[in-house]
């Protein structure tokens, strides 16, 4: 089983103030913390579990600057043979179809059985790269996978649908699956393991190495254009409860009990 | 020219609400695009859905074929690719659901369509359609423009448009199935229902829901106290369930359960749209979060912008006092 | 027997244990859990048992309070055996997700709270603070601590310290936004590799400051820098040392009366681990109006609050009364108005316990610095 796992380093903005920078087209990330994209982390673990159960080989793929090496090394420490980081400022990372094209170019050069991505990135959340990648590679896919079973030349997966429903799908290999969070419990990569993983191959490639022309994957070559970013007006009709924490609690309690909400 | 295709979504004998939401969105932009709205329906034994969709569109094109009984990304892609190539609409709308995201990106690649995913709004700038989507869990909005030639493809976020009332009487046209035999690669096997545990949050009258803001499992006792004081059931966001604080059947949101309680108290939940979609039907929503920009406040009726660790214990205390 | 296992046995001198059970007899968490340190030591002698032992949930019950080490007649450190077993589990990667996240956060952001490195100094906003410059002479280099820097409930401790130092005209400088976790808890969670790395990086960073000594806010940072940074040749003191000096030398005036009965809770990492007992009490006695009370269990017999030893990230399943709640009840019984502490973890656990017991009206938990700030006016 030869597997590719696509990972990305993303900011954690769940508690952060997100501000738009002067370009108006990107955000000021100087005060964010960063880490591996959550869903990708589950994909890494799933690949390692499959490898532990059936043997095989894992290669990590990542588009990003050198800062991304830390999440690549952490993934390699968990179990993986090698990694490729594609660093090229010409790549338009805001277009999921172009990202898929770059990843496909890196995968196509080799034989593979299974490609995994996270089902969604925490920053852009297009939920599109994995499925577009499958089309670029000309193989079957399933998105939002919550369970994987490898069969002979096939794969059986459970997709997590709305309303707690699960859809079971069978596909022939090779295939691409996008992994939903919660499919497993990602392990910890101890620092000694990460140091050990420094010995593993991590190639850094550019567009030319992948045989891609700039216009295929650059902003200019995208079929859509990001016009501007802006902070949404929170259209809240909510009644703001004012005061100290104690006062707010009291006002709310009175509304709930005496206002007949309960 | 200027026509809009809307892919209707259905599952297990139910036409899903997002279909009507997209048709409402299509209606709002159809005048500017200067075209007609066509609902696309792929299924088996779906005449009644076709009839219903006709009330919201100018035309319904539908495939009625047992091979389309269940959603299958490869069959859907094949059928849509065929229809789009044939009719050349200006805009194609696919729901940003577990069906849509499983198919649309591949379709975009196949037909080289300008594509924007997870669209939550549509606007016009200089006469050109601009889809609006969000980044960073709703903290940033982005306006996009299409550069290439139509047809354009978007996936539309659930619950971002309100379904209208039927006001049209579109024509209904059954078209030949694009499939002669079943495809070989991807096969639908079965649906599995979620195992219902002892508590069914979708039936609860009062829900206290927790999110990542609770920080640690040990803080759950504070929430249990609050829930007990008002006979509420505890539910959670995906973060709370992933963290193992609550069992899976307590998850609210698109991948969990949709809930409609009388009162929903969201504590430390910032309000990812998957979560909002699952709870915004609640009659009264009370949100406690320290981030004033948290999206949860967009659906809240009462907003408490403060540290939950300071507010919740006091709230419990006051509720106990008042209900004594 | 391979060398690694031999070293476990040797490292912890397991054969030196006479199985007297004084460790377990004095272990405070046995009141709540089934942890039996004596038995763990006995069973760890068998190399083949280590993997299995490392999977015992019990090994995470230890708060590393050091009572066992204080009581051991043979001078062994039973708690280190438990940390060693945690290390075995960490090396396998199969730790619980909260521990994983805390450790990854230290590795990537330099703090265990998943907070951005860049926001480490946000607590000081709007405050007059001095940041030390590498190479520039400073008498007191201040190390704030991750928990104090990021937890909104604790940031006042740092603010109060800065205000007091400003008032007393002390020559000080903060390590600043380059400050990185001392990794006390990294060590206690069993991540020896990460701990080594952090010790190396921090030693390098701190050596760059031309400081006479470093003052820590947390006893955990104090104990770790003092005892586990062999190459950091800098005097390390706790803030209670510095404040005691200022008071003794008459450099810090306390004009305001604080009419409170105050009982001091000895933090394990200040007391049991480093024998600092007098400074906090001396400070409290200098505050006009304060009546200093004493717990029956005090100083080296002080009851652990269960805040250390990685317990911020590992919940003990026991539903029995938390030790911090016992402590709160004892303080209440003494008639204390204030339970004074000098450790951020103690504040968190004891304040939670205070609320759990519903004593918020009658009593409060406060860092010594809060009382001091009030008295300094």
| Nearest neighbour of A225 by CB, restricted to B71, B136, B145 | B145
| A84 found inside a domain | yes
Determine contact: C331 vs chain A, CB below 8 A: no
Determine contact: A164 vs chain B, CB below 8 A: yes
B contacts of A159 (beta carbons < 8 Å): 98, 102
Please report, for the domain that includes residue C294, its CATH number.
3.40.50.10700
Structure tokens at C188: 């206690």
The tally of CA atoms less than 13 A away on the side-chain side of residue C170 is 31
Structure tokens at B118: 């997870």
Task: For A169-189, give the DSSP string.
Answer: EEEESSEEEEEPTTSS-PPP-
Of B144, B114, B89, nearest in space to A221 by CA: B114
Query: What's the structural domain count of chain C?
Result: 3
Residue, of B258 and C349, whose pLDDT is higher: C349
Asked which of C221, C246, C271 is the last residue of a domain, the reply is C246
Confidence at B160, pLDDT banded by 50, 70, 90: confident
Q: Tokens 């309960």 belong to which residue?
A: A262
Write down all domains in chain B, each with its CATH number in brackets: 4-175 (3.40.50.620), 201-323 (3.40.50.1220)
B contacts of C98 (beta carbons < 8 Å): 216-217, 243
Question: Number of A:C CB contacts under 8 A?
Answer: 61
Q: Cβ(B37)–Cβ(B58) under 8 Å? A: yes
How far, in Å, CA of A106 to CA of A84, rounded? 8
| Nearest neighbour of C95 by CB, restricted to A188, A192, A195 | A188
pLDDT > 60? residue C3: no
pLDDT > 50? residue C1: no
| Nearest neighbour of A14 by CB, restricted to B71, B110, B212 | B212
How far, in Å, CA of C93 to CA of A194, rounded? 11
To the nearest whole angstrom, how far is the Cα of C271 from the nearest Cα of chain A?
Answer: 31
Structure tokens at C223: 């104990």
Minimal-distance CA residue of chain A relative to B155? A126
In degrees and rounded to multiples of 5, residue A239 shows phi and psi of -80, 120
Please report, for the domain that includes residue A76, its CATH number.
3.40.50.620
In B300-317, which positions are buried (b, 16+ CB within 10 angstroms) versus exposed (e)?
bbbbbbbbbbbbbbbbbb
Confidence at C6, pLDDT banded by 50, 70, 90: low
Please report, for the domain that includes residue C163, its CATH number.
3.40.50.1860
Asked which of C48, C72, C92 is the last residue of a domain, the reply is C92
Least confident segment among A96-110, C169-183, C302-316: C302-316
Average pLDDT, chain C: 94
ipTM (interface pTM): 0.92
Determine contact: C360 vs chain A, CB below 8 A: no
Q: Structural domain of residue C36, as residue ranges?
A: 3-92
Same domain? For C159 and C234 the reply is yes
Record the pTM: 0.88
- DSSP code of C361? T
| A92 found inside a domain | yes
Confidence at C81, pLDDT banded by 50, 70, 90: very high
Strands (E), chain C: 137-143, 172-174, 210-216, 235-238, 261-264, 291-293, 338-341, 364-367
Strands of the sheet with C235-238, listed across from one edge: C172-174, C137-143, C210-216, C235-238
- Cα→Cα distances A68→A65, A79, A156, Å: 6, 17, 32
Confidence at B323, pLDDT banded by 50, 70, 90: confident
Same domain? For C208 and C103 the reply is yes
Q: Are B255 and A162 in contact (CB < 8 Å)? A: yes
At C181 the pLDDT is 98
Same domain? For C33 and C110 the reply is no
At B196 the pLDDT is 56
Minimal-distance CA residue of chain A relative to B303? A240
Query: What would the pLDDT profile of C11-45 be if each residue is shown by its tens digit?
Result: 999 999 999 999 999 999 999 999 999 999 999 99
B18, B80, B96, B98: best to mutate for the A interface, most A CBs within 10 A:
B98
Coil, strand, or helix at residue C149? helix
Query: What would the pLDDT profile of A95-122 be if each residue is shown by its tens digit?
Result: 999 999 999 999 999 999 999 999 999 9
To the nearest whole angstrom, how far is the Cα of A202 from the nearest Cα of chain B?
Answer: 29
Listed by number, the residues of chain A in 51-90 with a beta carbon closer than 8 Å to a beta carbon of chain B are none
pLDDT > 60? residue C71: yes
Same domain? For C11 and C73 the reply is yes
To the nearest whole angstrom, how far is the Cα of A97 from the nearest Cα of chain B?
Answer: 7
Same domain? For C126 and C237 the reply is yes
Of C301, C307, C288, nearest in space to C219 by CA: C307
pLDDT > 60? residue C5: no
Determine contact: A19 vs chain C, CB below 8 A: no
Mean pLDDT of B306-323: 94
C contacts of A74 (beta carbons < 8 Å): 104, 107
- State the CB neighbour count (10 A cutoff) for residue A18: 21
Q: Are A78 and C107 in contact (CB < 8 Å)? A: no
Query: What would the pLDDT profile of A60-74 be if each residue is shown by its tens digit?
Result: 999 999 999 999 999
| Nearest neighbour of A252 by CB, restricted to B135, B141, B304 | B304
Q: Are A191 and C95 in contact (CB < 8 Å)? A: no
Same domain? For C154 and C260 the reply is no
Query: What's the structural domain count of chain A?
Result: 1
Least confident segment among B52-61, B258-267, C127-136: B258-267
- State the CB neighbour count (10 A cutoff) for residue C113: 18
pLDDT > 70? residue B255: no
Mean pLDDT of B140-155: 95
Query: What would the pLDDT profile of C233-264 be if each residue is shown by its tens digit?
Result: 999 999 999 999 999 999 999 999 999 999 99
Determine contact: B307 vs chain C, CB below 8 A: yes
How far, in Å, CA of B272 to CA of B238, rounded? 9
Task: For A148-165, give the DSSP string.
Answer: EEE-SSEEEEEEE-GGG-
To the nearest whole angstrom, how far is the Cα of A126 from the nearest Cα of chain C?
Answer: 25
Residues in chain B: 324
Of A122, A236, A30, nearest in space to B140 by CA: A122
C contacts of B316 (beta carbons < 8 Å): none
Q: Are A224 and B306 in contact (CB < 8 Å)? A: no
C10: exposed, middle or buried (C-beta count within 10 Å: 0-12, 13-18, 19+)? Answer: exposed
How far, in Å, CA of B264 to CA of B260, rounded? 8
pLDDT > 70? residue B318: yes
Mean pLDDT of B152-170: 92
| Nearest neighbour of C355 by CB, restricted to B244, B307, B313 | B313
Structure tokens at C214: 């470093």
Same domain? For C194 and C242 the reply is yes
Cis peptide before B290 (omega within 30 of 0): no
Same domain? For C293 and C179 the reply is no
Bridge partners, B116 (sequence order): B154
| Nearest neighbour of B218 by CB, restricted to C97, C153, C315 | C315
Q: Are B221 and C356 in contact (CB < 8 Å)? A: yes
- State the CB neighbour count (10 A cutoff) for residue B225: 17
Same domain? For C51 and C118 the reply is no
Same domain? For C161 and C242 the reply is yes
Residue, of A260 and C82, whose pLDDT is higher: C82
Residue, of A17 and A200, whose pLDDT is higher: A200
Q: Structural domain of residue A32, as residue ranges?
A: 2-217
Q: Are A190 and C118 in contact (CB < 8 Å)? A: no
Q: Are A32 and C118 in contact (CB < 8 Å)? A: yes
The pairing of strands C338-341 and A140-150 is unpaired
How far, in Å, CA of C225 to CA of C183, rounded? 9
Query: What would the pLDDT profile of B101-129 be if each residue is shown by its tens digit?
Result: 999 999 999 999 999 999 999 999 988 99
| A206 found inside a domain | yes
B contacts of A144 (beta carbons < 8 Å): 98, 101-102, 255
Least confident segment among A239-243, B199-203, C300-304: B199-203
A contacts of C99 (beta carbons < 8 Å): 188
Q: Are B217 and C315 in contact (CB < 8 Å)? A: yes
Asked which of C69, C92, C115 is the last residue of a domain, the reply is C92
| A151 found inside a domain | yes
| A118 found inside a domain | yes
With contact defined as 3+ CB pairs under 8 Å, the chains touching C are A, B
At B240 the pLDDT is 87
Coil, strand, or helix at residue C189? coil
**How many percent of chain C have pLDDT more than 70?**
98
Q: Are C356 and B307 in contact (CB < 8 Å)? A: no
């Amino acid at each position: 089983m030869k597997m590719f796992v696509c990972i990305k380093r993303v900011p954690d903005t769940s508690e952060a103030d997100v501000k738009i920078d002067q370009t108006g087209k990107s955000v000021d990330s100087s005060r964010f913390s960063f880490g591996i994209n959550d869903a990708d982390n589950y994909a890494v673990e799933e690949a390692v579990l499959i490898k532990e159960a059936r043997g095989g080989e894992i290669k990590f793929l990542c588009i990003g600057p050198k800062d991304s090496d830390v999440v690549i090394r952490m993934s390699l420490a968990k179990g993986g043979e090698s990694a490729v980081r594609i660093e090229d400022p010409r790549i338009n990372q805001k277009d999921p179809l172009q990202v898929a094209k770059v990843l496909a170019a890196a995968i196509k050069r080799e034989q593979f059985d299974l490609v995994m991505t996270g089902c969604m990135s925490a920053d852009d959340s297009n939920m599109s790269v994995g499925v577009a990648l499958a089309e670029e590679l000309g193989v079957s896919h399933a998105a939002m996978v919550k369970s994987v079973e490898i069969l002979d030349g096939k794969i059986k997966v459970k997709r997590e649908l709305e309303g707690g429903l699960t859809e079971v799908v069978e596909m022939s290999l090779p295939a691409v699956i996008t992994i939903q969070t919660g499919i497993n419990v990602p392990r910890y990569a101890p620092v000694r393991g990460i140091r050990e993983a420094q010995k593993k191959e991590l190639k850094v490639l550019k567009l030319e190495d992948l045989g891609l022309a700039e216009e295929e994957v650059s902003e200019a070559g995208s079929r859509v254009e990001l016009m501007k970013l802006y902070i949404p007006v929170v259209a809240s009709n909510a009644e703001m409860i004012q005061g100290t924490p104690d006062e707010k609690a009291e006002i709310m309690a009175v509304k709930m009990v005496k206002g007949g909400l309960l | 020219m200027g026509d809009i295709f809307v892919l209707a979504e259905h599952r297990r004998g139910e036409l899903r609400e997002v279909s009507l939401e997209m048709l409402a969105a299509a209606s709002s932009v159809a005048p500017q695009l200067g075209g007609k709205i066509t609902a696309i329906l792929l299924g088996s034994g779906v005449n009644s859905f076709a009839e219903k969709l006709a009330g919201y569109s100018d035309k319904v094109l539908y495939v009625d074929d047992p091979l389309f009984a269940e959603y299958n990304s490869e069959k859907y892609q094949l059928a849509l690719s065929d229809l789009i190539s044939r009719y050349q609409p200006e805009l194609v709308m696919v729901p940003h659901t577990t069906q849509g995201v499983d198919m649309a990106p591949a379709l975009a690649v196949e037909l080289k369509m300008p594509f924007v995913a997870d669209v939550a709004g549509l606007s016009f700038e200089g006469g050109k359609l601009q889809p609006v989507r969000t980044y960073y869990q709703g903290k940033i909005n982005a306006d996009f423009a299409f550069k290439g030639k139509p047809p354009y493809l978007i996936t539309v976020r659930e619950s971002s448009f309100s379904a209208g009332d039927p006001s049209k009487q579109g024509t209904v046209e059954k078209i030949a199935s694009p499939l002669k035999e079943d495809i070989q690669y991807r096969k639908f096997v079965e649906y599995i229902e979620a195992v219902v545990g002892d508590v069914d949050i979708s039936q609860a009258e009062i829900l206290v829901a927790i999110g990542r803001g609770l920080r640690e499992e040990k803080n759950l006792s504070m929430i249990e106290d609050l829930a007990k004081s008002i006979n509420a059931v505890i539910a959670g966001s995906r973060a709370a369930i992933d963290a193992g604080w609550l069992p899976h059947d307590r998850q609210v949101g698109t991948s969990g359960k949709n809930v409609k309680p009388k009162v929903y108290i969201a504590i430390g939940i910032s309000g990812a749209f998957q979560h909002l979609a699952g709870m915004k039907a609640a009659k009264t929503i009370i949100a406690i979060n320290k981030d004033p920009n948290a999206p949860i406040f967009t659906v809240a009726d009462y907003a408490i912008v403060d540290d939950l660790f300071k507010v919740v214990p006091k709230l419990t205390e006051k509720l106990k006092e008042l209900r004594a | 027997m391979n060398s690694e296992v031999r070293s476990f046995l040797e490292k912890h001198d397991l054969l030196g244990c006479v199985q007297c059970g004084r460790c377990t007899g004095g272990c405070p968490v046995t009141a709540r859990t089934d942890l039996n340190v004596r038995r763990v030591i006995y069973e760890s002698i068998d190399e083949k048992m280590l993997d299995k032992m490392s999977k015992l949930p019990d090994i995470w019950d230890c708060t590393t309070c050091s009572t066992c080490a204080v009581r051991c007649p043979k001078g062994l450190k039973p708690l280190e055996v438990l940390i060693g077993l945690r290390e075995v589990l960490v090396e396998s990667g199969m730790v619980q997700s909260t521990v994983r996240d805390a450790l990854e956060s230290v590795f990537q952001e330099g703090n265990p709270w998943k907070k951005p490195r860049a926001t480490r100094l946000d607590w000081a906003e709007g405050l007059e603070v001095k940041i030390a410059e590498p190479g520039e002479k400073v008498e007191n280099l201040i190390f704030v601590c991750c928990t104090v820097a990021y937890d909104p409930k604790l940031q006042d401790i740092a603010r109060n310290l800065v205000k007091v130092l400003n008032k007393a005209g002390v020559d000080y400088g903060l390590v600043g936004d380059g400050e990185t976790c001392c990794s006390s808890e990294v060590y206690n969670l069993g991540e020896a590799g990460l701990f080594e790395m952090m010790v190396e990086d921090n030693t390098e960073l701190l050596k760059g400051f031309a400081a006479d000594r470093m003052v820590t806010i947390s006893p955990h940072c104090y104990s770790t820098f003092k005892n586990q940074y062999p190459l950091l040749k800098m005097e390390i003191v706790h803030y209670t040392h510095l404040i005691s000096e200022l008071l003794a030398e008459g450099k810090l005036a306390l004009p305001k009366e604080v009419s409170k009965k105050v009982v001091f809770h000895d933090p394990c990492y200040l007391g049991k681990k480093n024998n600092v007992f007098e400074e906090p009490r001396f400070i409290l006695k200098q505050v006009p109006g304060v009546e200093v009370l004493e717990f029956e269990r005090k100083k080296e017999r002080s009851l652990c609050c269960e805040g250390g030893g990685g317990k911020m990230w590992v919940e003990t399943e026991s539903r029995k009364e938390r030790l911090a709640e016992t402590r709160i009840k004892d303080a209440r019984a003494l008639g204390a108005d204030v339970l004074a502490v000098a450790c951020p973890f103690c504040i968190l656990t004891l304040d939670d316990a205070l609320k759990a017991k519903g004593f918020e009206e009658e009593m409060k938990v406060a860092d010594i610095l809060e009382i001091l700030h009030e008295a300094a006016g």
